[in-house]
Amino acid sequence: MTTKIRLDKVQELIRLFDPNTIMPISEKDQRTKLSQILTQINYFGKRNDEQAVELAIIEHVEKQLAEQETQIQQQREQMKTKMRQLIQKEFPQQEQRHEHQMEHINEIHNRQALEDFHNTPNLNLDSMFKTHEEEIDELHQKYMNKPFHQVGDNNVIILCDAADDAKFNIVKNKALERFDNNTQTLSFQVNNNIDPREKPTIPYYRNLANLDQLDTFLDQIYRKEQRTAFKVRADFGTIIETAEYDGNEQKISYKYVLPVDANSERRVPLIIKSQENIVEYKHYMRDVIANMQERTQEDTHQKIVAIFSVMIWVYKFSLAGAAIPSLQKHIKRREVYYVECKQNLCFFTAYSFITMPNSKEKRWKDSSRIAEGKRIFKRIYGKEFDDSYQGFNFATDIDEFIDKEQINV
């Protein structure tokens, strides 16, 4: 008995050939429709072979798209030629004068830009384009021989002596009380309407009395998150001493500042893939604290006298899977493009907007983008796209993608 192509596959193949087709209602009509398509594209293979039928339709669609692209390109060239001839006929002198003016202006701008570039004092191109790893290594080299030194014994990390111990201890105790032992986080919650499961970041918070506790905290986070690669940023909770003068009288005051996500942007982020990366980040955090201590010793008006806590933000790398239907509402405002695709091909269809950009003359159909996405997938991984593919993993796949496509992401 000959096995027929599944009905859902029949529907998928019909839409692959023409996404805008009106799907027949009955199974018989749908199979007849597919048979007509195969006859139209001159397919003479086995009609119950799903893979062969799909490949034949894809090749036909790709051929049509290539022909259309060639026609569009020819039409563009013809229009350019006609416009150029019209301009040369109607405004020959004006066009030549305008071209000479533009060439002269561009020459002046280029020459000025080159002079400014060469005259920039102490221009260091290497420092302008440093990687995160290079920044971390540069800071480590600076503080390798002058690391942080704990000043006295305390239940916080002391960077320098406080001018008024009594006032300092009051603020310090208030700061330490912000840590909730039951929830292992801050003692307040931010009110928002975002489902925590949908947030791309996970905050980890704890009080600090010494650097060993920071190392232990990072090890705990790694053990919990090591199933997949992740990115970390950090910021410290600090106690700040301010010295003001009222005539000849000095007034000392203290305040504590909790870790802030925005401040973490000042720290170098690092992608954690292994225990070696965690060790590297431990060294970096110690170098950051040594740098804070050095700057504290140079400041006399307002300075950070202690670190009482740390917040580690863990950024999860989600897989680039299927398209998100809720994005369709943004299409009319041209904020995003939506490609209707049930397969986990989102990253590659998005990349197709670079390899096959839309234009005023041509807006590519979803089927074309899906076909292009599968071609890109095969170019990267050297195999055909499979429905079992879980999605593009930015943490593990991006380096291979950049190497194969030779682009910056």
pLDDT digits (tens, 9 = 90+) for 223-261: 888 777 788 888 899 999 988 877 778 889 999 988 876
- Residue 56 DSSP symbol: H
Interatomic CA distance for residues 359 and 70, integer angstroms: 14
- Give residue-wise pLDDT tens across range 84-134: 777 666 655 665 666 667 677 766 666 665 565 555 555 454 444 445 566
Interatomic CA distance for residues 370 and 58, integer angstroms: 10
Q: Domain extents for the chain?
A: 1-116, 132-316, 325-405
Structure tokens given for 381 = 């991984």
316, 260 Cβ separation under 8 angstroms? no
Answer yes or no: pTM beyond 0.85.
no
Interatomic CA distance for residues 261 and 285, integer angstroms: 16
- Helix H or strand E encompassing 204: strand 201-207
Structure tokens given for 323 = 């398209």
- Give residue-wise pLDDT tens across range 252-293: 999 998 887 655 555 666 778 888 888 888 888 888 888 887
Res 239: pLDDT:
92
Neighbouring-strand partners of residue 239: 256, 306
Interatomic CA distance for residues 207 and 156, integer angstroms: 8
- Give residue-wise pLDDT tens across range 338-393: 777 888 888 888 888 888 888 777 788 888 889 998 998 988 888 888 888 888 87
Res 125: pLDDT:
42
